[in-house]
Amino acid sequence: MRLKFLYHSAVEPILLYGCSVWAPFLNTKKGVKQLRTFQRSIALSLASSFKTVSVEACFILTNILPIDLRIQEITHLRFSSGCSGFFSALSLKWLTGKLPSCSPLLKCDSYRHHSNHYWPPWAPPLYPTLLSEVCTLLPTKDSVLRIFVATSRCGDSFNCCIISTCHKNVMKVTNGPLSAHSLHQARQLSVLHALIQASHVVERGWQVEIFAQHISSFAFARYGAHLSEVERLCVDAASPYRENLRLVVCQPPSAEGIQLALAGCDIPGSGLNVLPQLLISKTSYRHSISKLVRDAWQAEWQACYNGQLTREFFPTVQFATVLHPNQLCRQVTQILSGHSLLKEHQFRFNFTTSSKCDCGAVSESVSHFLFQCPLFSTQRLAFLTSCSSEDGHWPRPLASIPAYPNIWKAFIAFIRSSKRLRRYSA
């Protein structure tokens, strides 16, 4: 576990320093092979495996992304989040060829400092107020406008409803879908629309109170910190009349307006089309790029010839996430890779004169050791019991062992308790 921490915190940052500049070096198979060979030497130590284990299996057993795919991920993120407008033309060409399904022309949102001359740094901050008492739908004073904002998620889309009230009646109800990439961004867009509505009545000298469910809706109030694109728009919208503005955080039981706004989110509408199209957040963009890179790794893992036994345990890259560094000892790695002290593998490399098991079986293979060899029937009892109590399959497909936590723990315990793979006696 410490070795893996050192790899991610020290080795990888040093190795990948400035990789967005020298990434075209990976245009050739030779360049990729050189980097992966270096990475394999580290993966062998992390996995505690035999030196004959393939590079593809090493990456699966250690859950380390192949270095060339990691460079693709970093280079794409650096280009998409860069604000300078300068990027290596060769790196951009290489990136487009490697990830054709993800346009590198797409930029993502970046946090940066923002200032507005209506809101100087020495001005008092606009902190949201946490409402503790019950709030009525209509304000008690005239020349006060209350705006209730609610946002809801519907699958991968987001809906919003904004209700504006004065001391006499409900003045306006606006609802509709939002073109947001995350719930946080959707909340910010809802408040931006409320601020735009408020600007029309503030000119007449009114006070405006904006109510929202979550404090993150008013993230733009962290003025002076690094702000996203939508937060910067909120600052610009609120700055001219911030002295006439009050931000309130409240929950539905204490605010009738929030309850109505939440109900309005489920009603079809199209009143929010005037809101700007925002760049995707850096967090969401990082997830999408990581998924593309993982898919590329999965396609490579399925197509390669090496690591066949490891692929039987982990047919997909996602399956290998159960491999915790604390569980991956030398004995477990031997079974997962097939490169072990069992006689079938030893005979393959002429380290023993026969592949015959000591119990009399024709071959001492991984499958025979796990499910059949009578020499370890006592140590295997807990493993057998776990499989029987789960679904009754015995012998069972190797891919189903990591799929069940109880079976996986019993599987590791059996390998360690057998002591067969600690040393080899001819």
Residues linked to residue 247 through DSSP beta bridges, in sequence order: 210
Which pLDDT score, from 0 to 100, does residue 423 have?
62
Largest Cα span, the chain:
98
Residues in the chain, how many? 426
Predicted confidence (pLDDT) per residue in 201-240, tens digit: 887 888 999 999 888 888 888 766 778 888 888 888 888 8
State the Cα–Cα distance between residues 220 and 190, nearest whole angstrom.
12
Question: Tens of pLDDT along 6-18?
Answer: 888 888 889 888 8
Contact between 94 and 26 under an 8 Å Cβ cutoff? The reply is: yes
Euclidean distance between CA atoms 278 and 270, whole angstroms: 18
The pLDDT value recorded for residue 416 is 92
pLDDT value for 426 = 38
Intervals of the chain under pLDDT 50: 104, 424-426
Question: In terms of DSSP H, where are the helices of 102-246?
Answer: 183-202, 229-238
CA atoms of 71 and 95, how far apart (whole Å): 10
Strand order in the sheet with 207-212: 129-130, 245-249, 207-212, 144-154, 157-165, 170-178
pLDDT at position 425: 42
Write the DSSP symbol of residue 62: H
What pLDDT sits at residue 105?
Answer: 53
